[in-house]
Amino acid sequence: MRLKKIVLLITSILVITGCAESGNQNSNSSNGLIGTSTSQEFVFMSDVRAMLADKGIECSGYEQNQEVIGAKEEGTCKYKGTDITIDLFGDSKTAKAILDALKGFGGYTISAGNWSISTTSENISREIAGILGLSVQ
């Protein structure tokens, strides 16, 4: 029942704000990014993961999640033995709307531009945020 409420809340926010993205893009190409820092907007998940790897955040065992709510693509991997979830949204406005709606559900999130990283570990979230020069939400 709780998942249904979350889905309804996110869908309502997307409809109200007009942030819903139409279509789906292939996420295997590279250099699909806009901007030059961690706050840039990415087009492909592979580029988000490459940016993280370039900063020393190695994400092992990445698996794309098949059921995604609100994000263009989502995947889970391990960083230092801890599960982290990476979300790629259609744009930063959509990312902000969805992440704001989910703030009360627990966990730790780091976000910039149109992507986010979530985990249940406070220590890991603070470490990743420090590496990226971002803050934990």
**Domains of the chain: which residue ranges?**
2-132
Output the pLDDT for position 106. Answer: 85
Q: What would the mean pLDDT of 100-124 be, rounded to a whole number?
A: 93
DSSP string, 72-134: SEEEEEEETTEEEEEEE-SSHHHHHHHHHHHGGG-SEEEEETTEEEEES-HHHHHHHHHHHT-
* Residue-wise pLDDT tens digits, 42-94: 999 999 999 999 999 999 999 999 999 899 999 999 999 999 999 999 999 99
Mean pLDDT of 27-50: 68
Q: 3-class SS at 133? A: coil
**Segment among 12-21, 52-61, 106-115 with least mean pLDDT:** 12-21
The torsion angles phi and psi of 85, rounded to 5 degrees, stand at: -115, 130
Angstrom distance (rounded) from CA 45 to CA 48: 5
Of 64, 67, 79, nearest to 27 by C-alpha is 64
Report pLDDT for 63.
97
Position with higher pLDDT, 92 vs 28:
92
Which residue from 80, 50, 77 is spatially nearest to 63, judged by alpha carbons?
A: 77
> What's the whole-model pTM score?
0.74
Which of the four pLDDT bands, split at 50, 70 and 90, describes residue 37? low
**Identity of the amino acid at 56:** G
- Judged against a pLDDT cut of 60, whether residue 115 lies above it is answered with yes
Q: Residue 131: its pLDDT value, please?
A: 96
As a dihedral over the C-alpha atoms of residue 33, residue 50, residue 95, residue 79, rounded to 10 degrees, the angle is -170
Q: How far apart are CA 52 and CA 31, in angstroms?
A: 14
